[in-house]
Amino acid sequence: MEAYESSKIYKDQTNKWHDAKVVKKDVSVGDLVLLFKSRVKVFPGQLRSCLSGPFKVTHISAYGAFELWSEDGQSFKVNGQRVRRYYNGDEQGTIEVLYLGEPLPEKESE
């Protein structure tokens, strides 16, 4: 019985450690994501990206599986650990410009 209790304690501690390391994704339905390709083979002289996409998220299950929709009309499910959020550049914040020198004199039009 002590071995079973020790095993139970070990499993509980391992689950707590694993759950603390899991990062929540900031992805919701309708967002664009990139898919991590784990089977990329690197050939000398060629650069290949390990990410493909973008794909649109159509459904997120309670256990972390994502249903993605590709542009050719196919829908497929992947593990949530394989997706990365896609930033297309439109989501940049506003930029405030501060001029630290003297203002330039304005030219008068004649």
Q: What is the CATH number of the domain that holds 48?
A: 2.30.30.140
Q: Is the pLDDT of residue 38 over 60?
A: yes
Give the tens place of pLDDT for each residue, 40-82.
566 665 666 788 889 999 999 888 889 999 888 899 999 888 8
Q: Number of structural domains, the chain?
A: 1
pTM here is 0.56
**Residue where the block lists tokens 């001029």:** 99
Q: Is the pLDDT of residue 102 over 90?
A: no
More confident residue, 78 or 97: 78
Query: Cis peptide leading into 44, omega within 30 of 0?
Result: no
Question: For residue 4, is it within any domain?
Answer: no
Question: For residue 61, is it within any domain?
Answer: yes
Q: What is the pLDDT of residue 92?
A: 60
Contact 63, 39 (CB under 8 A): no
Question: For residue 110, is it within any domain?
Answer: no
Question: For residue 42, is it within any domain?
Answer: yes
d(CA 23, CA 37): 20
